[in-house]
Amino acid sequence: MKLAYWMYAGPAHIGTLRIATSFKNVHAIMHAPLGDDYFNVMRSMLERERDFTPVTASVVDRKVLGRGSQDKVVTNIVRKDQEEAPDLIVLTPTCTSSILQEDLQNFVARAQEQSKADVLLADVNHYRYNEFTAADRTLTQIVSYYIEKLAGNLPARSEKPTANILGISTLGFHNHHDCRELKQLLADLGVEVNVVAPEGCSVHDIQKMPSAWFNVVPYRELGRGAAEYLQRQTGQPLIDITPMGILQTARFIRAVQQILNTQGARVEYEEYIRSQTLFVSQAAWFSRSIDCQNLQGKRAVVYGDLTHAAAMTRILAREMGVRVVWAGTFCKYDAEWFKAEVADLCDEVLISDDHAEVGDRIAAAEPAAIFGTQMERHIGKRLNIPCGVISSPIHIQNFPVGYRPFLGYEGTNQIADLVYNSFTLGMEDHLLEVFGGHDTKEVITKTMTAQSDLEWDEAATRELAKIPGFVRSKVKRNTEKFARESGRDKITLEVMYAAKEAAGA
């Protein structure tokens, strides 16, 4: 047993559900107790999803515990097949089904006989995989399932250069914006996007994947498994450079150039890279401008998933001259890759998924800014250090409506703003402290109390203190007005409640 307050990566079934629900017309059925369908709330709230999340539970209750699921799972799959006519139903195990050890594969086989939809059992064990590894595995599983259905009759390569983008998914950090930016970037390079998966992809599109010239895997966490599978099956090369930051975007473009030229196209992107870097993206100019001069040698810490923490460390260290005191990730399973990526870019590397340790290390480093997850933002609040959020786990404010990619050339602009705003806010805060802070608060409070000729008893005062700050003065005013009108000179709890009732009218 482990005493735990917070986790950076979710359980395995979350990863599977993220993949299943990113596809079009795929339904997931969880073998889970009541209440485990919290994923639907997250998707509906964080992504502000307009459609019903295609996830239902085949509920494990006391009866199932006693006698096994028997026909229940099969019935639920067949029912969903009839109601929603999905292309694919993914039976999703949870921690509960991991222990029950029912023969889910057998249920899938039986359900398949009665369903029009394809039926798959997600091959993820709760105790072996987390959200990220399970997501990667499920995507690979679905892709290979449909490629294998082709039985070797692969579609021919497209005439013009095309690419698949693998790893864009629901609840991914700024994934929708990144995808749009990547499509734009590839279009600029004369590469057409063949299939994007899993987001918005129909399972039928998977069989078109082999006609692309190569695969793009923008994120380290998701899509590699599928891209490597395709490489083995169809010989498609893959690019796993994350085009985040000016340098990495250029490297990405050169990788595209090399692949296309090897496959017989004649492309030359150096001029494109030059003009984008110097004149379209503002980031190169930004790092040269005197604002960024102020950032020189400032201390920062970086923490997050593999992709974003590594890329951010590179941007801060190489492109902005910020000193990264330590860079860390919670993806312990891929620690070696991370260490190799950031080894020369920071003083120290932290591999940990314990938020208390991360907090202690931040407190010890005393950086001028933090780039981390929502958890580090809160640690920063407590320590009075500004924080830019660069990675999951995230809240609703990290699903902005406006266009905010982290990848590509527009991404470099967004990141420049994020970095700059984090540091200037820190400076502003610092100056405020030097000059004794904002001084208006006290005055407002004094005026409020001076006007009052009424006495508040202790219980009422305490009650008033419990009311959230932003409405407290309104409640105070209403109560006093009520007390005056009803000729009372002392405010007790009863008077407060009576005032509330009267104000209700």
Partner 1 sequence: MVSQPTTSSGPQFECETGNYHTFCPISCVAWLYQKIEDSFFLVIGTKTCGYFLQNAMGVMIFAEPRYAMAELEEGDVNAKLNAYDELQRLCLQVKKDRNPSVIVWIGTCTTEIIKMDLEGIAPKLEDEIGIPIVVARANGLDYAFTQGEDTVLAAMASRCPAPQEVRSEEEKKERTGGLRTLFSHGKKDEKKAGPAPSEYVDHQPLVLFGSLTDPVVNQLTLELKKQGIRVSGWLPAPRYTELPIVEQGVTYVAGVNPFLSRTASALQRRMRCNLITTPFPIGPDGTRGWIEAICQALGVIPKGLDEREQQIWDALRDDVEFLKGRSVFFMGDNLLEVSMARFLIRCGMIVHEVGIPYMDKRYQQAELELLDRTCRELGHPPVRIVEKPDNYNQIQRIYACKPDLVITGMAHANPLEARGITTKWSVEFTFAMIHGFTNAHDMLKMVRKPLDRNNALKSLGWEKLIQEV
Nearer to partner 1, 98 or 234 (CB): 98
**Nearer of residues 3 and 431 to partner 1, judged by Cβ:** 3
> What minimum distance in Å lies between the beta carbon of 106 and partner 1?
20
Classify 321 in phi/psi space as left (phi over 0), alpha (psi -120 to 50) or beta. Answer: left
Q: Which one among 67, 113, 127, 153 touches partner 1, defined by CB under 8 A?
A: 127
Q: Which of 18, 22, 27, 33 binds partner 1 (CB under 8 A)?
A: 33
| Phi then psi dihedrals of residue 326, to 5 deg | -150, 150
Q: 37 or 188: whose CB is closer to partner 1? A: 37
The residue (of 6 and 403) whose beta carbon lies closer to partner 1 is 6
Give me the least distance between CB of 32 and partner 1, in Å please.
Answer: 8
Closest by CA to 339, choosing from 348, 325, 217, is 348
Do residues 422 and 316 make contact, with C-beta atoms less than 8 angstroms apart?
A: no
CB of 484 to partner 1, least distance (A): 17
Residues 460-499 that bind partner 1 (CB under 8 A): 462-463, 466, 490, 492-494, 497
Segment near partner 1 (CB under 8 A); pick from 2-10, 138-146, 149-157, 476-484: 2-10
* Residue 402: CB minimum distance to partner 1, A: 18
Tracing tokens 């933002």 back to the chain, one arrives at 377
Residues numbered 45-84 forming contacts with partner 1, rule: CB under 8 A: 45, 48-53, 56-57, 59-62, 65, 76, 83
Decide if 51 is catalytic.
no
Q: Which range, of 93-101, 229-237, 298-306, 406-414, touches partner 1 by CB under 8 A?
A: 93-101
Q: How far is the CB of 200 from partner 1 (least distance, A)?
A: 14
Q: What are 21's two structure tokens?
A: 């629900």
* Span near partner 1 by CB under 8 A; candidates 3-11, 154-162, 248-256, 423-431: 3-11
Question: Which residue in the list 61, 71, 103, 291 is annotated as catalytic?
Answer: 291
CA distances 390 to 30, 104, 155, Å, are: 31, 38, 39
Residue type, 367: P
Strand 118-121: give its sheet, edge to edge. 55-59, 26-32, 88-93, 118-121
**Residue 426 labeled ligand binder:** yes
For residue 455, the SS3 value is: strand
Q: Record the tokens describing residue 210, joined without a space.
A: 């082999």
The torsion angles phi and psi of 292, rounded to 5 degrees, stand at -70, -25
Residue 460 dihedral angles phi and psi, to the nearest 5°: -65, -40
Residue found by looking up tokens 């919290």 in the block: 38
**Spatial CA neighbour of 273 closest among 289, 293, 256:** 256
Q: Which is nearer to partner 1, 134 or 312 (CB)?
A: 134
**Residues within the annotated binding site for substrate?**
426-427
Q: Please list the active-site residues.
A: 291
